[in-house]
Structure 1
């Protein structure tokens, strides 16, 4: 597929994003782990920076959680082999042990997993292991899709699968751990907190698919929501991009609405819930910001114009972001904060 450029709007409801105060030192330490346990060239993607954008207010060390993330990011980059993913899934479900793993991936995973597991509450450890195991199972399913090149599902089915891989469901227990809280009991009960988690996960998946569009086209990757919309609904790439952008905006509206509702309820009086609401907002904003600037999706050396409506030219060697000077004026990012008036909740985000 040959595509010259697409138009991207500006997403202003959750921005600006903030970065952890020790971001640079942390990213260097995690990059050293990646060089030692993954591959030296992997650090050029700067995935270690992602964690510093999505957990800016961490109260505990980010190191082991981000090291674990690096292994998952790297698996998404290098290891689509279903037998490798299945073996790691089986190892993870057996729990943190000292026995050697059968693969380099398993050894890297265990290096980060064992100190994390020892520092988590049993309930959080169970949630985290289940989320990563589900991620690995979903990765195996996406491996089948990539290998077949013909298997497409509708948008909503594809989104639910992407939520299990690119939406970062494993990241939320790690975020709680970094924030020094554990909402395992509340998140297993019906109510607004699980709804908030689902909206944040869908937002993360959609942002990933939108911002990685150039990479997926160059890789002929058919597993994402953009490819599903084009294959099953007959949309052009720009039409698929517009649809995904509308879905992202809907999730942002839902996030802000739910946060306002929870904050105004008795549940919102709890300090751990207040921390969680702030953390979910930071995750959504930080993931969006990082996805727009990361070399993982856009290559090295491009110029990002900031949070403005842009034309995105997808050259093979690097993209160009060209500000759209004809776009209507947008609300400033500074206008969106946790305590602002909540917009009406939209059913499109369900």
Structure 2
């Protein structure tokens, strides 16, 4: 009898196979309190004890200074809260049209000139954060951040606007290309530049090996999220990597698709180490910065994996059992709702 026959799934072991070590930023508690106070000033209710979004950034940027980590936590905790608010698992009372308006409003936050009218307290806070960043971040970072955010947002808006496309399961290659955009992984990588004052010439950023290396980081984080969130998403008819794999190969069970997705991540670990050796030299000064950038990118991988086991969003009341045995029970809609509750007070503010 297989695990799935008993209504359970064994998660792939992504942590012991990960070649990158885990660290946590020593400024986490101080920065977390400051971010919470900043959100409260805008009337945004947030509980770090429940979601631990600030912990996420402390794990993936363990070497950031207090100021740079604080600016990062402010923005990304907002992005997490907006994502929770509009996610179809939770935001059933919000129409797709309203979601489009609210998402577009966040992009308007980054316009350098002209009038800006925030539709929510989230957008108002995000505008405040961006004005702060315009004076502390390099023009190159600002350009990369806005471009990455715009591409990811436009992809999400396109899916919302096209119901047929949104509900149709794509093939694996198409899904990976879309997922690299909607995961906003490029933004997480761009913040390495900001946090550590890394300035590289265009020749580096356009290098094929470095681009493939960064895709490994984005894919690992996105695929891991899909593995860990599948149990909740499947009862809301949302597709992700597991669904796509089963759609591509109808003979796969859920467990087999999980195993295949896990192997895809392990393959990316190996790809990262191999591609890293293919990075060319641009001279000692630039090479030092490139090495710093790559080393910090590995923290994104390890921090992302461990953080998923620190919050109830993915495993609910099963979290301790999942940590111990990597075994999860397939949820019914009723139990999923209990195990995935978010702060509904934020939802009521729309």
Q: TM-score range by the shorter chain?
A: 0.7 to 0.9
Q: How far has the Cα of 1:232 moved from its partner?
A: 4.1
1:228 to 220, 236, 244: 244
Distance 2:64 2:230 in 1: 30
Query: How many pairs are equivalent?
Result: 314
1:143 to 131, 152, 160: 160
Give the aligned partner of residue 339 of structure 1.
none
Give the aligned partner of residue 26 of structure 2.
21
Let me know the Cα RMSD of the aligned residues: 3.0
Give the aligned partner of residue 105 of structure 1.
122
Output aligned runs, 1:110-259, within 5 Å: 110-144=127-161, 150-183=167-200, 185-222=202-239, 224-234=240-250, 235-259=252-276
Does the 8 A contact of 1:96 with 1:114 survive in 2?
no
Does the 8 A contact of 1:186 with 1:193 survive in 2?
no
| Inter-CA distance 32–64: structure 2 relative to 1 (3 Å threshold) | same
Give the aligned partner of residue 105 of structure 2.
87
Distance 1:50 1:144 in 2: 31
Q: How far has the Cα of 1:161 moved from its partner?
A: 1.2
Distance 1:145 1:213 in 2: 23
Distance 2:330 2:44 in 1: 27
1:68 to 44, 62, 75: 75
| Inter-CA distance 3–304: structure 2 relative to 1 (3 Å threshold) | closer
Q: How far has the Cα of 1:318 moved from its partner?
A: 4.3
TM normalised by structure 1 equals 0.79
Distance 1:178 1:96 in 2: 26
Q: How far has the Cα of 1:286 moved from its partner?
A: 1.0
Q: How far has the Cα of 1:258 moved from its partner?
A: 2.2
Give the aligned partner of residue 95 of structure 2.
none
Does the 8 A contact of 2:10 with 2:326 survive in 1?
yes
Give per-residue Cα distances to partners, 1:138-187, cap 9 Å, x unaligned.
Answer: 22234357787632211221122111122521111112211221336245
Q: Which runs of 5+ in 1 are unaligned?
A: 320-350
Q: Which runs of 5+ in 2 are unaligned?
A: 88-98, 341-350
Distance 2:61 2:163 in 1: 31
| Inter-CA distance 257–5: structure 2 relative to 1 (3 Å threshold) | same
Q: How far has the Cα of 1:208 moved from its partner?
A: 1.2
TM normalised by structure 2 equals 0.79
Distance 1:142 1:233 in 2: 24
Does the residue aligned with 1:212 lie in a helix, a strand or coil?
A: helix
Distance 2:148 2:297 in 1: 17
Give the aligned partner of residue 7 of structure 1.
10
| Inter-CA distance 38–226: structure 2 relative to 1 (3 Å threshold) | farther
Q: How far has the Cα of 1:205 moved from its partner?
A: 1.0
Does the 8 A contact of 2:12 with 2:258 survive in 1?
no
Distance 2:165 2:6 in 1: 23
